[in-house]
Structure 1
């Protein structure tokens, strides 16, 4: 089996990965609607989504980390990733901290900023923890790549065993997101291994399609059981079945032009949506509570609210980012 040579093979954008990343981002945004006025059933929906959506999201992100990697000086690589991820992370985190201080008091700022740098889950910008973790996932990859080039199969087996252990026994401390890093390490390893063996997997498309469709059926069955007979093992099953199931769903949705185009657009703007979507979710919630002072009781109204808020939050994030890009381009041209 040939190695996936990241320095020679030209990288083409993969439609199926775009579709899967778009689906993953949809799950993320829907899962961030844990609002006080939601009906009790949303708590179950939230728990259901969180049982699989982050493992799936990390798998896709890790695949792209490995697939897009180009060998270069480690200091250059990490500096670029730091600039790409940490600067926006800190800027958005500071904005959230200041907005929070307006409600909770300015004496909370110093502790919030410390949490933002050391333990993002404990800060008021808790939703940004994934951006924080993503930098470390990128920084870890060149080391995995170099060791794997030397030891190959032995290293892969070792990493599967180590990550499997941490999946069952994650580190409990939230400092530097070590709890999430260890808890999701298995899906990081599976994602980068999928990229390493992508040339082989690409030759098995017929088999993968069948696997994906059967996994999608299994995912639907497990979803029903999760709400009717919730059980720990059901959620573990969802966690692992979700990856091939969303692959199968992507093959179905690629046949629907509007859905495919929408998911690709979400995928291309995934980072900016993640950074900004909570501002829209919270803003919509504040307006809703002004207009509708009661708790949502109807499942129909909850569904309509989730669809509207999810779509508006993603579209709004894309529009804001494009507006920022146009403004930056205009300022640059004026300086020239």
Structure 2
């Protein structure tokens, strides 16, 4: 897989993979909000069995190449992850509170809910990713040579604590425990492997393993494996289920990395749209959810076919997110606060050499024309 950085320090193949993953995030949320029995949906289980672990794996892979000092890196991550996390909380509160036309939760209850479990109201991925970066930075400060060994020790310690308090997710603790190993492995893969692409044999074995494993994967609770450990203590069942979930996720990760390695360089122009979406993953992640409920209301009256309804809601959410982020990026300060970065475009909307900026220019020109008409 090509990992040569572009002039604006982006890796095209990783952007394409991120683009696919953010589309899966949108599809997963559409299924989750539009179906009362989404956990039994095979497509939902397939997506959720690996998409966030692969996002974290890629984040570890990319962050391991950061040459800045630890504290500068931490400052950068704080600005790009923590500030947007808190910036979106008020909007999320308003959306949760008034999307149904009436107040449903107080501000104090909402704040307590986010502290108790960031995934219950906030953009948890941003918060958890910052904590993972923070842990790795601490490990590097302790020892640059043995960073990964220390990180694995931290991982074991955190999960030993998690086994004692399996239901606690205060400040995202449980999410950190689960995702930290993927971040560590992404960092290790960058350090010890020549390219992002695994061998063809690894890809094939991983793909076959994933196809066999994911059908019994469960997002909550234990998988069907509990039938074989019904007489075992709960802690044994938790450990077995955790190992099973890791194996399932890693099987998907290496299978997908292998497929991208084979097809990306051969058909690079065909990945243009995915690369664009991959360059605005945070933007889509933060904004698409607001359009899903609107898409559900729009389709509930006249579309009875589940697949068609899901497709329409997905397109509504994705289109709304793309145009919303383009509008927000017209003001640098707002873009920095909500997305943790300035836009790739310049004020004159001159086409940039990189595909993401080219497509971003298209959306800005559409917005500019609509503004002039008004």
User: TM-score interval w.r.t. the shorter chain?
Assistant: 0.7 to 0.9
1:97 offset after TM fit, Å? 0.7
User: Which structure 2 residue ranges, 5 or more long, are not aligned?
Assistant: 1-6, 226-240, 334-345, 348-374
Q: Tell me, what secondary structure is at the counterpart of 2:310? A: helix
1:166 offset after TM fit, Å? 7.3
1:208 to 199, 203, 207: 199
Q: Separation in 1 of the partners of 2:172 and 2:314?
A: 26
Note the alpha carbon deviations across 1:95-135, whole angstroms, 9 max, x for none: 1212333345276122213433553233xx25x11122122
Q: 1:90 to 1:224 in 2, by over 3 A?
A: closer
TM-score (normalised: structure 2): 0.68
Partner of 1:44: 41
2:19 to 9, 19, 22: 22
Q: How does 1:215-234 map to 2 (within 5 A)?
A: 215-223=206-214, 231-232=224-225
Q: Separation in 1 of the partners of 2:205 and 2:164?
A: 30
Match status 1:138 vs 2:133 = yes
Note the alpha carbon deviations across 1:21-64, whole angstroms, 9 max, x for none: 22222222221124565374763332343222222222122222
Q: Separation in 1 of the partners of 2:212 and 2:179?
A: 24
Q: Separation in 2 of the partners of 1:92 and 1:163?
A: 28
Whether contact under 8 Å (2:59, 2:186) holds in the other structure is yes
1:270 to 253, 271, 281: 281
Q: Separation in 1 of the partners of 2:102 and 2:288?
A: 22
Partner of 2:255: 245
1:328 offset after TM fit, Å? 4.4
Whether contact under 8 Å (1:62, 1:192) holds in the other structure is yes
Q: Which moved more, 1:182-191 or 1:213-222?
A: 213-222
Q: Separation in 1 of the partners of 2:12 and 2:161?
A: 32
Partner of 1:280: 291
Whether contact under 8 Å (1:18, 1:263) holds in the other structure is yes
Whether contact under 8 Å (1:22, 1:264) holds in the other structure is yes
1:155 to 138, 150, 153: 150
Whether contact under 8 Å (1:51, 1:238) holds in the other structure is yes
Match status 1:303 vs 2:307 = yes
Q: Tell me, what secondary structure is at the counterpart of 1:71? A: coil
Q: Tell me, what secondary structure is at the counterpart of 1:155? A: helix
1:169 offset after TM fit, Å? 7.3
Q: Separation in 1 of the partners of 2:68 and 2:130?
A: 17
Q: Separation in 2 of the partners of 1:240 and 1:268?
A: 24
Q: Tell me, what secondary structure is at the counterpart of 1:173? A: coil
Alignment root-mean-square deviation, CA = 3.5
Match status 1:178 vs 2:189 = no
Q: Separation in 1 of the partners of 2:217 and 2:152?
A: 32
Whether contact under 8 Å (1:29, 1:310) holds in the other structure is yes
Q: Tell me, what secondary structure is at the counterpart of 1:149? A: coil
- Alignment length (residue pairs): 304
TM-score (normalised: structure 1): 0.75
Whether contact under 8 Å (1:171, 1:182) holds in the other structure is no
- Return the structure number with greater helix share: 1
1:94 to 90, 103, 124: 90
